[in-house]
Amino acid sequence: MTGGAGFVGATLVRRLIASGHTVRVFDNLSTGHRDHLTGVDAELAEGDIRDADALDKALVGMDSVMHLAAAGSVVQSVADPVTNFDVNVVGTFRVLDAARRAGVERTVQASTGGALIGDATPPVDERSLPKPISPYGASKLAGEGYAYSFAKAYDLRTVALRFANVYGPWSARKRGAITTFFNRLHSGEPLVIYGDGSSSRDYIHVDDISSALQRALELDLPGGTVLHISSGVETTAQELAELCRTAAGRPDHPIEYEPARRGEVDRNFANYDLAQKLIGYAPTIAREDGLPSTWEWFTEHVFRG
């Protein structure tokens, strides 16, 4: 599993091991951390997904690849498109090519919905025309393209899951609105909303994402499959701020507004009907439950000092 010491990986590794899978984590620990795997019966191989030789060694004896490693920030991709391309496009190609050389049966990779589709009237789905407006979205679209081509050219059973905005335990290092809001709620700094608060996203708990990833790994899906994994619920930035303030028990915490940032889509939420049909996926954790439990995790594991 690439990126297995990261946010989603920390939850997914535990889930797969509990289900009887043997897991080898391949991670350069740039955004992940070895402490995320403390007490977990998984092997950790340190390495970078752009290193073909390291990938070859890591894939010895493996029959599947879960590819989660990525440069995941839209804002950072606008500031540094070269690094984003190198990690997400070159890196994903290296992973797929290493899987081909190793004779791996299937790969499941993390993609994205909103950034890849771009500005489109929601809800979006697998038939929506991708028009990414950030280098990050373009890099994920390229990764899906390579996965599809490897499925057709080499019979590699590739699956790409387009994640909504993921939150939950182990997300302290994640660059995203919820982590940022929680940190500011804890420190006393005002919450910052970019734009007028009407921009929207689809937020999904990491447990639901991990369930979908496991289903995509274990079920016999055709190579080249792409699925949206989402909550199907549109949440504006203003609503998210209110939900986070409520979760933290600080309903009057100040909010400030700054200009919208380049590369970020205005509105997004996704339809998950195809994922429900093909892998039996449906979200189980509502934002009204998931955000308070995530705040509790931050309080216990991040803010305790």
Residue 195 region by backbone torsions, left for phi larger than 0, else alpha for psi between -120 and 50, else beta = left
Domain extent for 156: 7-237+241-301
Q: Which residue, 161, 181, 209, is CA-closest to 9?
A: 209
Q: Distance of CA 285 to CAs 11, 94, 216, Å?
A: 15, 34, 19
Q: Tell me: the pLDDT tens digits for 34-52?
A: 999 999 999 999 999 999 9
Q: Distance of CA 194 to CAs 47, 253, 255, 256, Å?
A: 36, 17, 11, 9
The model's pTM is: 0.97
Domain for residue 212, yes or no?
yes
pLDDT band at 305; cut points 50, 70, 90: low
DSSP-assigned letter for residue 37 = G
Domain for residue 1, yes or no?
no
Report the catalytic residues.
Answer: 136
CATH number for 128? 3.40.50.720
Q: Tell me: the pLDDT tens digits for 218-275?
A: 999 999 999 999 999 999 999 999 999 999 999 999 999 999 999 999 999 999 999 9
How many domains does the chain divide into?
Answer: 1
Query: How many whole angstroms separate alpha carbon 245 and alpha carbon 1?
Result: 35
Domain for residue 21, yes or no?
yes
What is the residue type of 117?
I
